[in-house]
């Protein structure tokens, strides 16, 4: 049997051309692996058939929607992970899952090499190759688009010369990556930072002004940091994301327009739509504010930033990320309760919280009758708390 190469297959021009190109250049058989992450669009069976028609000896379609929601999106919710304080890692958290299935397919098919369609300017090449190195250090990697300077024109010419069954006449002005967690849009006229996004940029979200007269109030229930019900109806994590995508998206929630610091050192203008992600993270943060002790919450906010950076930087399978995962999981033991929020005009605003694990004590918090807080203790606390600063000030001002 010939050597085999396992290819991360999207069904698009570059990875379709890669099947035939790899076979011709290396003499290897190509196994195409397509992963369903809830991206919608073209039917996965059609994508599988296209891979076969382009010369793959085997084409595998993996329905990983629940796996993605449970093992990648959920930890992102629990970490309140927002790269640069905004981006809920839409593409970043999908890559390690794709890598996992590439490695599994390589082992099953006795392949020595895996391949991807990433360019040399983006983050995904890092996420793929560092992830592969962490899970299967002996696998080789081929990256045709990056390593052989493919352009769209070269790919089209190769497809035409080799009579590949690919429709290359339609070209989007944007580069788009999407899954159930969100949608990422870049390139085209968006590369001019002064250009505002046009309506055709968006797909997961409606114009925030469209349903302005009809706000949507929703109650999200969590158990130990896991969303388990919406408006009292039990849901899986995937169902929670899907429903909030619909409801928050209808209200224009989750639109992001940001200049992002890529790992490779480039600043890039990105448009994101992540209605379900933003709504669920917002609700989760609000419930943690009620149920997580102050010092733990303070420290967790520092860890959240580092966790998000590791995920963004392609270090999902690193020792530090695994250790931080254990910390995050422990912080969720009391994150149980209900969050009520209003989805309206592009915003998800929390307006109600309740939990049997709440640390909020009404009698300590109230300024009205029934106040049990002993204010006489505060004077000494303030004096001791500021003592070191006061002593230093006496020295420095003398």
Catalytic residue among 2, 147, 175, 200: 175
Respond yes or no: is residue 20 known to be catalytic: no
Q: What is the CA radius of gyration of the chain?
A: 25
In 3D, which of 385, 360, 223 has the Cα closest to residue 293?
A: 360
What three-state secondary structure class fits 387? helix
Question: Taking phi first (over 0 means left), then psi (-120 to 50 degrees means alpha), and beta for anything else, what does residue 221 get?
Answer: beta
Residue pair 311/81 in contact (Cβ under 8 Å)? The answer is yes
Catalytic residue among 95, 183, 247, 255: 95
DSSP state of 258: E
The rounded Cα 58 to chain-centroid distance in angstroms is 29
Respond yes or no: is residue 175 known to be catalytic: yes
Catalytic residue among 14, 53, 70, 325: 14
- Alpha carbon distance 118, 160 (integer Å): 22
Angle at 67 between CA 61 and CA 69, to 5 degrees: 120
Catalytic residue among 10, 94, 115, 124: 124
Phi/psi at 170 (nearest 5 deg)? -95, 130
Respond yes or no: is residue 95 known to be catalytic: yes
Helix (H) / strand (E) containing 222: strand 216-223
Respond yes or no: is residue 14 known to be catalytic: yes
In 3D, which of 290, 276, 323, 324 has the Cα closest to residue 304?
A: 324
Strand partners, 12: none
Residue pair 2/30 in contact (Cβ under 8 Å)? The answer is no
- Alpha carbon distance 88, 90 (integer Å): 6
User: 62 is written with which tokens?
Assistant: 């993996």
Active site residues: 14, 95, 124, 175
């Amino acid at each position: 049997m010939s050597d085999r190469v396992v290819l991360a297959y999207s069904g698009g021009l570059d990875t379709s051309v890669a099947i035939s190109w790899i076979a011709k250049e290396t003499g290897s058989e190509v196994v195409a692996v397509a992963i369903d992450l809830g991206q919608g669009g073209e039917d996965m069976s059609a994508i599988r058939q296209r891979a076969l028609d382009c010369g793959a000896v085997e084409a595998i379609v993996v329905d990983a929607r629940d796996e993605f929601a449970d093992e990648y999106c959920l930890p992102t919710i629990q970490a309140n992970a927002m790269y640069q304080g905004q981006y809920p890692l839409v593409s970043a958290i999908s890559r390690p899952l794709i890598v996992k299935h590439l490695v599994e397919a390589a082992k099953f098919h006795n392949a020595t090499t895996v391949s991807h369609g990433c360019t040399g300017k983006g983050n995904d090449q890092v996420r793929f190759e560092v992830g592969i190195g962490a899970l299967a250090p002996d696998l080789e990697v081929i990256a045709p688009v990056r390593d052989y300077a493919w352009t769209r024109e070269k790919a089209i010419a190769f497809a035409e010369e080799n009579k590949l069954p690919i429709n290359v006449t339609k070209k989007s002005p944007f580069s788009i990556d999407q899954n159930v967690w969100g949608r990422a849009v870049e390139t085209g006229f968006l590369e001019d930072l002064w250009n505002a996004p046009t309506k055709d940029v968006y797909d997961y979200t409606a114009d925030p002004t469209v349903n302005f007269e009809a706000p949507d109030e929703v109650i999200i229930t969590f158990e130990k940091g896991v969303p388990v019900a919406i408006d009292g109806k039990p849901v899986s994590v995937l169902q929670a994301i899907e429903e909030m995508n619909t409801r928050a998206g209808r209200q224009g929630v989750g639109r992001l327009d940001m200049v992002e610091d890529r790992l490779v050192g480039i600043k890039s203008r990105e448009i994101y739509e992540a209605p379900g992600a933003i709504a669920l993270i917002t609700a989760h943060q609000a419930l943690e504010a009620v149920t997580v002790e102050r010092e733990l919450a303070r420290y967790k906010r520092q860890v959240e930033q580092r966790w998000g950076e590791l995920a963004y930087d392609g270090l999902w399978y690193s020792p530090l990320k695994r250790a931080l995962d254990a910390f995050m999981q422990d912080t969720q033991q009391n994150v149980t309760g209900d969050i009520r929020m209003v989805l309206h005009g592009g915003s998800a605003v929390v307006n109600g919280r309740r939990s049997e694990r709440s640390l909020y004590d009404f009698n300590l918090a109230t300024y009205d009758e029934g106040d049990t807080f002993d204010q006489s203790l505060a004077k000494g606390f303030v004096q001791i708390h500021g003592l070191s600063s006061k002593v230093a000030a006496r020295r420095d001002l003398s």
